[in-house]
């Protein structure tokens, strides 16, 4: 997760420490709940001790996650590239995660004490809050989507450079030249444009200097010549 962000950055170091702390707290809390006595000991005749420990482990982890999110957003470079997009949408995305986890955690403790009306009110408020934050996230995504488009364009350009261009041989100097060139890049001789012929047997494309179809081996009919052999 931090491979794209230099760990020498102070915010990156703090974020890394916090996420490790969250993992340790959750693991420790889960281990404590596995102790038999924690399952037998009841508190307020409603929850057993293991459930209470696990609740506070998740609550503390959620609070730490809020600080982790702040440092993580601060650590993302604003370099105008794809990381700028993630920096732009990170705030609403993290708030959405915090609200979803927080309302589920809060309901875990309130559920035994709330009636049907209270449940309806709680769920309605949670839904409205989640929808509102989701709209914020979509708007930020739209605002910063140009950075994704530019990144994809750069990737496609870099990939196109890796694909070798088709070459033809110049009749004058016999040097390889790109197939779409009009004049030879070496001697300036005008490149002869070869006509595309269509095989009458398989419909494949062949060049006018071929005697047999390169696809099926049949004799090439020199009379038929189209740009689109499928028609």
Neighbours of 117 (CB within 10 A): 8
Model pLDDT, residue 225: 45
Residue 16, SS3 per DSSP: helix
Model pLDDT, residue 213: 72
5 belongs to a structural domain? no
Residue that finishes a domain, picked among 162, 177, 203: 162
CA distance readout (Å), 41 to 23, 46, 104, 110, 213:
26, 11, 24, 20, 85
30 belongs to a structural domain? yes
167 belongs to a structural domain? no
> Which pair of structure tokens corresponds to residue 173?
């100097």
61 belongs to a structural domain? yes
Q: Are residues 38 and 152 in the same domain?
A: yes
Give the chain's domain count: 2
Q: Are residues 158 and 61 in the same domain?
A: yes
Q: Are residues 142 and 34 in the same domain?
A: yes
- Is 26 in contact with 58 (CB distance < 8 Å)? yes
Q: Are residues 57 and 138 in the same domain?
A: yes
Residue that finishes a domain, picked among 116, 140, 162: 162
Q: Are residues 118 and 207 in the same domain?
A: no
51 belongs to a structural domain? yes
62 belongs to a structural domain? yes
Q: Are residues 142 and 206 in the same domain?
A: no
Per-residue pLDDT of the chain (231 residues; tens, 9 = 90+): 434 445 446 888 999 999 999 999 999 999 999 988 887 777 766 778 888 899 999 999 999 999 999 999 988 888 878 888 999 999 999 999 999 999 999 998 888 888 889 899 999 999 999 999 999 999 999 999 988 888 888 888 777 767 665 666 777 777 776 666 667 777 877 666 555 666 666 766 655 556 677 677 666 555 444 445 554
Model pLDDT, residue 133: 95
- Is 192 in contact with 184 (CB distance < 8 Å)? no
pTM of structure: 0.61
Q: Are residues 27 and 79 in the same domain?
A: yes
54 belongs to a structural domain? yes
Residue that finishes a domain, picked among 147, 162, 177: 162
Place of tokens 């409205």: 128
> Which pair of structure tokens corresponds to residue 39?
């399952």
Per DSSP (E only), the strands in 116-212 are: 167-169, 176-178, 196-198, 205-207
189 belongs to a structural domain? no
Q: Which residues, listed in sequence order, are joined to residue 190 by a DSSP beta bridge?
A: 183
Domain limits for position 38: 10-162
């Amino acid at each position: 997760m931090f491979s794209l962000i230099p760990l020498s950055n102070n915010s990156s170091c703090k974020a890394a420490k916090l996420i490790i702390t969250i993992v340790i707290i959750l693991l420790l809390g889960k281990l404590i709940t596995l102790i038999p006595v924690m399952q037998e000991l009841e508190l307020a005749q409603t929850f057993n001790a293991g459930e209470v420990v696990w609740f506070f482990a998740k609550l503390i982890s959620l609070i730490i996650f809020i600080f982790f999110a702040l440092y993580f957003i601060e650590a993302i470079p604003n370099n105008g590239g794809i990381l700028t997009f993630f920096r732009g949408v990170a705030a609403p995305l993290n708030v959405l995660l915090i609200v979803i986890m927080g309302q589920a955690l809060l309901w875990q403790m309130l559920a035994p004490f709330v009636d049907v009306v209270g449940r309806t009110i709680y769920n309605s408020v949670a839904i409205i809050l989640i929808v509102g934050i989701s709209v914020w996230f979509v708007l930020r995504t739209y605002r910063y989507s140009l950075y994704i488009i530019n990144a994809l364009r750069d990737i496609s350009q870099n990939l196109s450079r890796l694909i070798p261009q088709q070459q033809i041989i110049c009749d004058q100097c016999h040097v390889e030249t790109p197939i779409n060139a009009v004049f030879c890049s070496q001697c300036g001789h005008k490149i002869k444009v070869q006509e595309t012929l269509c095989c009458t047997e398989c419909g494949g494309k062949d060049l006018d200097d071929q005697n047999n179809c390169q696809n099926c081996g049949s004799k090439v009919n020199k009379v038929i010549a189209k740009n689109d052999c499928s028609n």
